[in-house]
Structure 1
């Protein structure tokens, strides 16, 4: 689980470096056995969403967590990438508001990914 947390926080940092907005990491370990962490980020264009998804793929693959599923890549509005224990959700603003994953997974704990990375640098 510590490895999953580290990867989720690193994906959040990557999204931040690519100028994503409102980036959150949700700890789902006490909510569902299906996933450990969600990363949710907002991008302003299809190009930005693709950059986030592609760079996350590179990071995760180098870390030994190859992607096992992808949805929405051909969409202009959202991309979901499943790495098993970590799932990346990249949305445009309207789709993020519509899907409202923060409310749907309200029982999940928010991770302060920036503090985690600073502590584990």
Structure 2
């Protein structure tokens, strides 16, 4: 017997109950498409005042911001969970999200795309759109249809 420690499966998080073992190594869509997909997922989950802003000319850290309002702490967390699970199933990972516990302003950083989910009061206070008012907006209605990733089925023992 070798002295190697066996690898154990990571415990499942209560916020992310889905286990998706066969994720693609590399996402198959570009940054603009990812931003559009994130916006449409948020729209399906009843996110409000959804904006996709092309910030790449002003920022070196991202090409697109997706900004969406949730109506309450619970709605912000539900938007986060749906985006996280469905984009993860499509092969898009983000480091640890910021703000989930408080549900006031949640930030998901996918590298070239940063998703901001805010309660209306936080959105008004921080006014991200005004900071980037000279950046082009992506008109979601003008974007081609992209098949949205589905959340993997949750398997519960029983």
Taking the aligned partners of 1:116 and 1:108, their CA distance within structure 2 comes to: 18
Equivalence for 1:107: 134
Q: Any unmatched runs of 5+ in structure 2?
A: 1-28, 148-158
TM-score, normalised on structure 2? Answer: 0.69
TM-score, normalised on structure 1? Answer: 0.89
Task: Please list every run of at least 4 consecutive aligned residues from structure 1 whose deviation after the TM superposition is greater than 6 angstroms.
Answer: none
Q: Count how many residue pairs are aligned between Structure 1 and Structure 2.
A: 119
Q: Which has the larger radius of gyration?
A: 2
1:23 aligns with 2:55: no
Q: Quick check: which one's helix share is greater?
A: 1
Alignment of 1:34-73 (within 5 A): 34-73=61-100
Tell me how far 1:10 sits from its aligned partner. 0.8
**Does the 8 Å contact 1:36/1:86 carry over to 2?**
yes
Q: Any unmatched runs of 5+ in structure 1?
A: none
Q: Tell me which of the two structures has the higher relative contact order, counting C-alpha pairs closer than 8 angstroms and 6 or more residues apart.
A: 1
Q: Quick check: which one's strand share is greater?
A: 1
